[in-house]
Structure 1
Amino acid sequence: MTITDLAARTRADAELMAAQAERLREIRDRIIGREGIPEWFDGEISAHIARCRTAAADLTTAARRLTAHVGSDS
């Protein structure tokens, strides 16, 4: 695997994490306030959403740096 390949895979992983954050947000919005949902659920799912968004941002930064590194070798 080349650095260019790694950058592309890292960028794809960032997109997956961002999509997962959005899916979790949609689930949260759909079920919060419904009967039977524990009061701790909103805090837990919100924390997972935040972690997914952080991971997406970190992976995007890593992909950008890998791409820049490849460009600096030219």
Structure 2
Amino acid sequence: MLMRFTFPKVGKGAALSVGVHHGALTEGLATLMVVMVSLTLKKKEQGFFVKTWIASIWKMTIHILSSDMTGGIMNPASVSVIYT
């Protein structure tokens, strides 16, 4: 009770902004794209740092583009659920 009194906004995270099916499908497609790029880079004969740079930029791009479409579906810690 002391924690709730001291920090009243803790546990009152973001509500879901998309449906469960839409968020799961978007997350699945984003994961598939990341895996495809990772496997493609594994076969290339480029330097380690070039592969790491391309993979990092690609993963951040996918994360930024799909973050609004997945909502809080794949991150249950950011979703507020009211238990009684």
Provide the TM-score with structure 2 as the length reference: 0.46
Overall identity of the aligned pairs, in %: 3
Q: Amino acid of the residue matched to residue 38 of structure 2?
A: R
CA distance change for structure 1 residues 32 and 62 in 2, over 3 Å: closer, same or farther? farther
**1:10 aligned to 2:26?**
no
Measure the CA separation in 2 of the matches of 1:44 and 1:33.
11
Q: Aligned residues, how many?
A: 58
Provide the TM-score with structure 1 as the length reference: 0.51
In structure 2, runs of 5+ residues without a counterpart are 1-15
| Partner secondary structure for residue 63 of structure 1 | coil
Q: What RMSD over aligned residues (CA atoms) do the two structures have, in Å?
A: 3.6
**1:62 aligned to 2:72?**
yes
| Partner secondary structure for residue 73 of structure 2 | helix
In structure 1, runs of 5+ residues without a counterpart are none
Q: Amino acid of the residue matched to residue 25 of structure 1?
A: S
Q: Report the structure, 1 or 2, having the larger helix content.
A: 1
Equivalent residue for 2:58, pick from 23, 37, 48: 48
